[in-house]
Structure 1
Amino acid sequence: MSKPLPTVAGHEPETLSLAARAGRPTQVVLGVLRIVLGIYFLWAFFDKTFGLGFATPAERAWVNGGSPTTGYLSGVEGPFAGFFNGMAGAVWADWLFMAALLGIGLALTLGIGMRVAAVSGAALLLFMYLASLPLETNPVLDDHLTMALTIVALAMIGAGDVLGLGRTWKRLPLVRRNAWLV
């Protein structure tokens, strides 16, 4: 005998995301996982912007004239070194990278725009994976790939709907007209 699908006020069971239909403990884990990944991106944004002294010292902060891409991309030595070294320190690369960190971080933390966050987050992490080649601890896999797959999975199951603003976001007229914003 199958259990009836849970209902949420104002939603038919079949319109609820997989995450919203899950039991409360599962919802909490999915929501917390999404938020933690969002904070991961936001932390990188704030550390690179203000030089909080973790990965970025204050004197190399973006607000102090430092380049968020120079340190990482100029040190790439793998098969894509020429490609990534050429981008290091470019103003457009700095702005694109920082906008990506902020946008992905906000989307994941708030549970909004999960499709955009999944595509852009996976793309950013794939580039970071390629810049890391050759890998030191595993010949094929690293945390960039696992994080990218996790973000895509969270978007696919609708994790923004739990412990987030995903349901409210999806009801906005702009989002209803542009499904890619979900």
Structure 2
Amino acid sequence: MAATVSKPAAQAGIATEARRPVDYVWAITRIAIGWIFLWAFLDKTFGWGFATPAAKSWINGGSPTTGFLKGTGENALGGFFSSLAGQAWVDWLFMLGLLGVGLALVLGIGTRIAAGAGTAMLVLMWAAELPLANNPFMDEHLIYSIVIIGLALANAGAVFGLGTLRFVRENAWLK
């Protein structure tokens, strides 16, 4: 009877380099922040009652951007951001951004693209709130942006994610 021999992990397309504890911390952080984006998408789409009541959900005709953007009217850039509130193209871009960034970070694929898109979204939300109520310039939007950039630089998708697949490792745009 012939013995079966399994392929080494590297031949199977799985990354095998040694991991440090910080690699796991970055991976868990990636998944956690991805979940924040993905949850925002789900709650705004279906109105599960956490931040969005069912009556104001996207599937029930609500605008996922109106509440936040209309509330910026008296801020420094409020006129600009208020004018975007409720426009279909803004709603679609915002929701696709939440979904795309959330899925990319949770799955660990396309983290570089997600870092760019997520940072752009977060910096725009930060700008919409200027001047900030509790700090001259720093808030959670900028902190999340810094962390998301760190995730991409640390190649956090290569731990607990699809970044371990050979196809991803061989196509830089998917990292």
TM-score by length of 1: 0.83
Q: 1:50 aligns with which of 46, 52, 74?
A: 46
Taking the aligned partners of 2:168 and 2:105, their CA distance within structure 1 comes to 18
SS of corresponding position for 1:97: helix
Q: Answer yes or no: is 1:86 the counterpart of 2:83.
A: yes
Aligned residues: 163
- Residue 10 of structure 1 is matched in structure 2 by 10
Contact 2:105 2:157 in 1 (8 A): yes
- Residue 116 of structure 1 is matched in structure 2 by 113
* Residue type at the aligned position of 1:162: V
Q: Answer yes or no: is 1:161 the counterpart of 2:158.
A: yes
Root-mean-square deviation (Å):
1.9
- Residue 3 of structure 1 is matched in structure 2 by none
Contact 2:47 2:54 in 1 (8 A): yes
**CA shift for structure 1 position 172:** 4.8
Taking the aligned partners of 2:173 and 2:30, their CA distance within structure 1 comes to 19
**CA shift for structure 1 position 134:** 1.0
* Residue type at the aligned position of 1:153: G
Contact 2:64 2:86 in 1 (8 A): yes
Between structures 1 and 2, the one with greater helix share:
1
Q: Which runs of 4+ in 1 moved over 4 A?
A: none
Percent identity (aligned): 52
- Name structure 1 gaps, 5 residues minimum: 1-7
Contact 2:26 2:154 in 1 (8 A): no
- Name structure 2 gaps, 5 residues minimum: 1-7
- Residue 133 of structure 1 is matched in structure 2 by 130
Q: Answer yes or no: is 1:181 the counterpart of 2:174.
A: yes
In structure 2, do the counterparts of structure 1 residues 172 and 151 end up closer, same or farther at CA, with 3 Å as the change threshold? closer
Taking the aligned partners of 2:168 and 2:146, their CA distance within structure 1 comes to 27
- Residue 145 of structure 2 is matched in structure 1 by 148
Contact 2:109 2:168 in 1 (8 A): no
The structure whose Rg is larger is: 2
Q: 1:70 aligns with which of 52, 66, 78?
A: 66
* Residue type at the aligned position of 2:109: I
Cα distance per residue 1:69-100 (max 9 Å; x no partner): 01100110211111101110000000000000
